[in-house]
């Protein structure tokens, strides 16, 4: 296997020129010996022979002088190492010495050595698992619908090429070059950015904590899917009565089960309460699964990830095949081909696409640096960055048609029910004399939505206004545009959609299994990133890796209890939708400046060339120095503008009106 490149191997051109000069010196020495032999033998030769030999001698002397001139020119003109090469040699020699000293010191103190990935495939599976966050998939589909369809996708691809791939390569290269993921690793690049590593640890810890709450919701729903009738499909009966719960009847069974049975949500964020016992058990089970998968560290995680990655993609293919044949799927799929040229110039779309890119590839959280530090330092991380970006695009192009087609089916079916319900209401009002006979709707057999809306548009304006004052408007487009990028949408809408499918019991199992495997994949990598960082920061943690995993999991579990109390969903929403973006983007800016300006982009790339043994695209340094800092700083500015332009609003369940109302968050008493 290829070992760490020696710093003396950098100026290879100079060594080859020296070898050429030595070969020319040997040739000149041989020529001198031939000339000496010729001087001894010429005394016994005849004059004619002497003249002939003299002419030969002049020719040889001319050639010898030419050879000598050429040899001196080669020796004089051989290139000297540049300042960058000398800096690279010095840096790599120093870091190699520090690495050897650190390993020797840890070995003498009895600490186990750092584990490496068993193969390149397992390392790539780990990065792929880290990129699979369910919220990112839903957020991309929502952005496609609300931010210009193909225009948003074009902006996303350009942002991925301009800042996503270069910064992903930067994080991979930093971890691979340092061969460690300790919290103070960034001090080696610049003392001014020593806090970047500690910030990553905190953000990764908090993010993993509330993402596991998402898994607890999934496990809670999965604990009810084996009932003959799933509880979210119908309202519960009142105690000692045959009547349904009035609160559930006023809302929907899906909304009631989500807010009242799953979350036990309070009316306001200020209203606290005890954590939910059922969600607490689900949260504990989620951390137990993660501990079980990580019990042997990175040695065995590759086999687990292979299964966890195979399951969701198989389910996505099954759902995609099934949803393409459903009624209304074509309405959702046509949004894939809509190109709004005017929206390309909209700065909001570019900001949304840029933030989407940063979160889709998981920059700024730390696991990428930690995972990359456990591969050999000569690994081609540039190719890995491009490959992972391609994997992310393929994943989004697989999941987006599935989501849009199933949402098209939901919008069409819901609108059909809306039209039929309006028909019943109007017939009753006409029979009671509240509306005139002209307000009686026609027969809606065949295509209810088309027949109803055609009849409604043909009414005189005053009568149409009277009809719309007593019944809601039924529109497929407005229903389809209700897609949101928050987890509430998954549990409210998708459970309703799947209940409408034939064989809904089978599909609901697949749906929650899909969500669970996606959630576990990303959570495993967040947890592994925290554990590996702690092991490198405090080497004594390697002596008891299983105990470390249990302790970190227990700490996250205790912190996660905040999110499963009655007001926990509101903290979850504010944290995931508003607050986490600011520190993550600041960390990305700091790590970019640390490499590109504090350490030097050219110097860093020269280090990587020496380690990889192959050239690197020189434009990376230009992108790191100018493009990515300015673009990411612009994204940070857009986030600040969004946060300060108006009050923070969260949506809460109001039990008095049996509806979801928006509330303004008061940051100050």
Q: Which residues contact 499 (CB under 8 A, 6 or more apart)?
A: 230, 232, 233, 508
DSSP state letters, 433-462: TSS-GGG------S-HHHHHHHHHHTS-HH
How far apart, in whole angstroms, are the C-alpha atoms of residue 509 and residue 385?
A: 34
3-state secondary structure of 237: strand
Check whether 276 is labelled as a binding-site residue.
no
Are 591 and 150 spatial neighbours (Cβ–Cβ below 8 Å)? no
DSSP 602: H
522 in a labelled binding site: yes
Residue 654 DSSP code: E
- Whole-angstrom Cα distance, residue 573 to residue 551? 27
Q: Where are the alpha helices (DSSP H) in 373-503?
A: 381-431, 448-457, 461-468, 476-480, 487-489, 495-499
415 in Cβ contact with 449 (< 8 Å): yes
Cα angle value 174/310/485 (rounded, 5°): 70
Q: Which two structure tokens, joined as six digits, stand for 397?
A: 């192009």
Burial of 387 from C-beta contacts in 10 A (0-12 / 13-18 / 19+) = middle
Terminal C-alpha separation, the chain: 63
Q: What residues contact residue 407 under an 8 Å CB cut-off, 6+ apart?
A: 332, 480, 483, 493, 497
Q: Which of 341, 286, 355 is nearest to 520 (CA)?
A: 286
For the chain, the farthest-separated pair of C-alpha atoms sits apart, in whole angstroms, at 145
H or E, element range at 101: helix 83-108
CA atoms of 493 and 484, how far apart (whole Å):
10
- The annotation places the binding site for Na(+) at 518, 522
- The annotation places the binding site at 518, 522
């Amino acid at each position: 296997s290829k070992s760490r490149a020696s710093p003396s191997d950098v100026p290879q051109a100079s060594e080859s020129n020296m070898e050429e000069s030595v070969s020319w010196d040997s040739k000149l020495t041989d020529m001198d010996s031939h000339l000496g032999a010729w001087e001894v033998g010429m005394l016994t030769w005849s004059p004619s022979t002497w003249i002939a030999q003299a002419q030969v001698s002049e020719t040889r002397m001319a050639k010898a002088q030419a050879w000598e001139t050429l040899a001196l020119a080669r020796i004089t003109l051989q290139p000297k190492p540049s300042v960058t090469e000398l800096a690279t040699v010095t840096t790599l020699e120093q870091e190699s010495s520090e690495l050897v000293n650190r390993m020797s010191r840890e070995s003498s103190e009895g600490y186990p050595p750092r584990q490496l990935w068993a193969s390149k495939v397992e390392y790539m599976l780990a990065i792929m698992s880290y990129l699979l966050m369910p919220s990112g998939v839903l957020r991309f589909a929502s952005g496609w619908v609300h931010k210009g369809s193909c225009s948003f996708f074009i902006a996303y691809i350009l942002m991925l090429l301009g800042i996503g791939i270069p910064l992903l390569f930067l994080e991979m290269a930093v971890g691979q070059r340092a061969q460690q993921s300790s919290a103070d690793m960034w001090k080696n690049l610049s003392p001014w950015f020593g806090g970047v590593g500690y910030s990553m640890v905190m953000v990764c810890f908090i993010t993993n904590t509330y993402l596991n709450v998402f898994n607890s919701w999934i496990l809670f729903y999965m604990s009810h899917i084996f009932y003959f009738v799933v509880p979210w499909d119908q309202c519960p009966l009142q105690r000692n009565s045959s009547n349904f719960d009035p609160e559930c009847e006023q809302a929907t069974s899906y909304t009631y089960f989500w807010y009242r049975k799953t979350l036990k949500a309070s009316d306001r964020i200020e209203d606290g309460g005890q954590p939910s016992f059922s969600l607490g058990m689900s949260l504990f089970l989620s951390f137990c699964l993660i501990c079980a998968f990580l019990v042997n560290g990175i040695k065995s995680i590759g086999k687990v990830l292979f299964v966890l990655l195979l399951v969701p993609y198989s389910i996505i293919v099954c759902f995609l095949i099934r949803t393409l044949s459903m009624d209304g799927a074509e309405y959702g799929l046509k949004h894939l081909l809509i190109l709004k040229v005017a929206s390309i110039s909209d700065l909001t779309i570019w900001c949304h696409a840029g933030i989407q890119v940063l979160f889709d590839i998981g920059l700024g959280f730390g696991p990428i640096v930690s995972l990359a530090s456990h591969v050999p330092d000569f690994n081609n991380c540039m190719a890995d960055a491009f490959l992972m970006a391609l994997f992310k695009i393929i994943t989004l192009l697989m999941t987006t048609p599935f989501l849009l087609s199933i949402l098209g089916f939901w919008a069409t079916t819901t609108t059909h029910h809306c039209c039929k319900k309006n028909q019943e209401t109007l017939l009753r009002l006409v029979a009671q004399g509240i509306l005139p006979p002209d307000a009686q709707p026609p027969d809606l057999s065949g295509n209810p939505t088309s027949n109803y809306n055609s009849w409604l548009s043909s009414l005189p304006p005053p009568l149409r206004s009277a009809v719309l004052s007593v019944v809601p408007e039924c529109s497929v487009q407005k229903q389809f545009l209700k897609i949101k990028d928050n987890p509430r949408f998954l549990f409210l809408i998708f459970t309703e959609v799947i209940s409408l499918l034939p064989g809904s019991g089978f599909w609901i199992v697949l749906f929650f299994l899909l969500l669970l495997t996606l959630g576990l994949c990303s959570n495993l990598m967040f947890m592994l990133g925290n554990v590996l960082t702690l092991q490198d920061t405090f080497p004594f943690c390697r002596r008891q890796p299983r105990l470390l995993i249990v302790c970190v999991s227990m700490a996250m579990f205790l912190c996660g209890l905040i999110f499963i109390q009655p007001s926990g969903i509101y903290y979850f929403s504010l944290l995931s939708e508003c607050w986490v973006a600011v520190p993550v983007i600041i960390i990305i800016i700091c790590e970019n400046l640390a490499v590109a300006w504090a350490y030097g982009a050219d110097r860093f790339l020269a280090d990587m060339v020496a380690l990889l043994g192959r050239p690197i695209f020189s434009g990376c340094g230009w992108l790191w120095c100018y493009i990515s800092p300015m673009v990411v700083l612009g994204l940070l500015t857009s986030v600040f503008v969004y946060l300060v332009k108006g009050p923070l609003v969260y949506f809460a369940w109001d039990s008095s009106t049996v509806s979801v109302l928006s509330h303004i968050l008061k940051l100050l008493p």
